[in-house]
Amino acid sequence: MFESLGKFIVKRSKLVLLTFVITTIVAGAVGTLSFSRLDSGGYSDLKSESAQAAKYVVDVFGAEEPVAVMVVDSASSSIDDPSVITTAREIEKKIQAQAGVSKTYSYWSTGGAPTMRSTDGKAGFILVYSDMDAFDWDALGSLGASLQKQFDGEYKNVHIYASGAGVITYAINHKIEKDLVVAEAIAIPLTFLLLLFVFGAFVASATPLFVGVTAILGSFFLIYLLTIFTNVSVFALNLITGLGLGLGIDYALLMVNRFREELHNGHSVEESVVTTVATAGKTVFYSGLTVFVTMASLLFFPIEFLKSFGYAGVAVISFAVLGAVIALPALLEILGEKVDKGVVRKSAITPKEDGRWARTARNVMQRPVPVVLACLVVLGIFAAPVTNISFAQVDSRVLPASNPAAIASQVVETRFDGLIGSPIEVVVPHGVGREAEITAFLESVKKVDGIVRVGKIETYKQDIRVQVISSVPSRSTTSLQVIHDIRKLDKPAGTLIGGAAADFTDSQDGIAKTLPLALGWIALTVLILIFVFTGSIILPIKAVLLNALSLVATLGAITWIFIDGHMKWLVGDFTVTGTLDTGSVILVAVVVFGLSMDYELFLLSRIREEHLDGKSNVEAVAVGLQRSARIITAAALLLAVVFAAFITSGVTSIKMLGFGVSLAVILDATLVRALLVPALMRLFGERNWWAPDWMQRFTLKH
């Protein structure tokens, strides 16, 4: 099939390339329309109990969550001092006049409500509401940013701190956007210089950009189509650009390297293109398929934030494979020997039959047991801290400690005895007439650790609502326990527990319940695909186990740095919260596992080819490593540079993503592929290629 595809491309190379480029440009132009349709939220499980409660609270009781929580701090005076009262009312009146603000409630306008007063009596709340769509995070964020810009800071005899959902959402998104510009400004020039070093010529160095850019543009179009039917997170764009460029590098390296190899072995341009598509093209297709099914696992999760990365992943992988297997060979046929034009490093032009990688493989295979043990010890050291791992969700603490939104959130948390801006909602549909039962339940709720205050019963027709104030941050591991403890209590039939803490709890629980299914999907599909590709029972099992080991080592290193607070000199300063963002960790894990499988198939395909050519297991491993390890290492280094630039971000979750992917691909390309794989291939010998005869008919014929 791939040989026939190669012949078709050779015969119609100009038509194929022109059609692909025009189609991609048009798709990209349409795809840019998606930018204004993307969502800044998506962290909730919309089918959960908390989502039902939220709908009830909004639809029945007309309740709202404040878009901003303003703290008016008098510093040394009581908030009941006449001068402070005058200033606070003046501030509240100005806030009410802002476009988008529907109403406000404050300590002063409610007659001195105790829940809106700080524990020291020197600060009070102004809660700001809007009639905007509660799920329009862009609009709410813009309003929050406007309020922060106008009011945060000194005002007459008080200091104002701006916090709340709208303020924090904008602060995080805006910081990420600014940091990504810096990251790209660092990554793109460095990547191009490294491409020049690896390819050794200007023309060849442009091929990854060709594959990457077309993959990105095509993916934008698919994302646009998806926004018509569902919500897609704005952060999907970050994965598309990063993974598009990364896969463009991976696949172009493999294809161009094989094309050059065939040219320098005396074959014509046409023959070289056909062989490249039939060998490297086949590898790219199956490598892409393994990454595709791995990224598709994100679609199982009930959180739109994670689903969005699944959409982005499968889109960019699909277009990267199409670009590498169809468009790039057409370009290579047109370029011919001009692919080496603009030489900057001659030694990179001609692939070597024997070299340091072959010698490394032979040395490793002479002493496989010590090498395996040493690698396992190193990976074990990296993995050890993973026992301390703990999960939460993004909140203001991912921002730099000096950020005004982070400072304001810290003031709210430390100076007030309850989070009045994000209460736990107790909703009892048709609860009127069951007040005694509800009161008994609320008495039990008061005894739950972390609960500060239980509000009054509110009724609307036949329904009842009660707000419960907690002292713990809504999106923390402690709030999980609070919600679980409340839900375990004997409660009136039909009672719904909602609010920000319950929303967080349901999201985390939804992820935890889905994780076994996602892991099972990845393991099963990858095992089948590698078996079909290699015809071996042993190799797929080893690949999955080694990738899992590499992943656990990466998570251990992430835990040691971002939970235990080490090595800030390397990754930059951040607030140590004792937790990691669940969504970011899952994203790192899936991306890392997928890319590791990419490199695994790069290596195994070449070893398999050499083995089928009649070489012994040892010699096939040595030659296969020589001809593929340089590509794998170069691809890993380039990809590490792209993601390492994210470490410069001031947002902890983005910083963690950059560090995690960079470390993982370097560990995988060096310790795992260059040492562990050849050592284990030597230990298993010819058994590497074994499978029962009845299963052989299901394998790919090379």
Q: In whole angstroms, what is the distance from residue 540 CA to residue 538 CA?
A: 6
Helix (H, G, I), strand (E, B) or coil at 201: strand
For the chain, the residue count is 702
Picking from 376, 369, 397, 316, the residue whose alpha carbon sits closest to that of residue 578 is 397
Domain assignment of residue 393, yes or no: no
Which secondary-structure segment (H or E) carries 334? helix 328-335
Count of domains in the chain? 3
- Give the end of a domain, one of 163, 178, 209: 163
pLDDT tens readout for residues 336-381:
888 777 766 665 545 555 557 667 777 888 888 999 999 999 999 9
Q: Is residue 311 in some structural domain?
A: yes
Report CA torsion sign: 91, 96, 101, 105: positive
Q: Which residues of 594-622 are buried (b: 16+ CB within 10 A; e: fewer)?
A: bbbbbbbbbbbbbbbbbbeeebebbbbbb
Question: Nearest Cα to 200, choosing from 356, 358, 350?
Answer: 350
Q: 329 and 227, same structural domain?
A: yes
230 and 302 housed in the same domain: yes
666 in a structural domain: no
Residue 353 forms part of a structural domain: no
Based on the fold, state whether residues 478 and 417 are members of the same structural domain: yes
Whether 219 and 322 map to the same domain: the answer is yes
The helix/strand count (H/E) of the chain reads as 26, 12
Helix (H, G, I), strand (E, B) or coil at 307: helix
Shared-domain flag, residues 18 and 147: no
294, part of any domain: yes
> Is 409 part of a structural domain of the chain?
yes
Residue 659 lies inside a defined structural domain of this protein:
no
At 341, give phi and psi (nearest 5°): -70, 145
Same domain for 71 and 29: no
Q: 444 lies in which domain range?
A: 403-500
Predicted local distance difference test score (pLDDT) of residue 250:
83
Residue 621, both tokens: 């491993």
Predicted local distance difference test score (pLDDT) of residue 490? 92
In the chain, which residues have pLDDT < 70? 36, 40-41, 133-137, 343-355, 357-358, 418-421, 700-702
**Same-domain status, 408 and 487:** yes
Same domain, 132 and 231: no
> Is residue 81 situated within a structural domain?
yes
Final residue before a domain boundary, out of 297, 314, 343: 343
Let me know whether 233 and 323 are in one domain.
yes
3-state secondary structure of 624: helix
Helices 368-383 & 677-684 angle (0-180, nearest 10): 140
CA atoms within 13 A on the CB side of 398: 28
User: How confident is the model over 664-685, as pLDDT tens digits?
Assistant: 988 888 888 788 888 888 888 8
CATH number of the domain to which 492 belongs: 3.30.70.260
Reading the block at residue 581, the tokens are 């963002």
Residues 157 and 278 in one domain: no
Domain boundary among 299, 317, 343: 343
Question: Domain holding 328: CATH number?
Answer: 1.20.1640.10
Strand-pair category, 391-392 with 580-581: parallel
Q: Do 297 and 421 reside in the same domain of the chain?
A: no
Q: Do both 333 and 413 map to the same domain?
A: no
The domain that contains 132 carries what CATH number? Answer: 3.30.70.1320
Cα distance between residue 402 and residue 532, in whole Å: 54
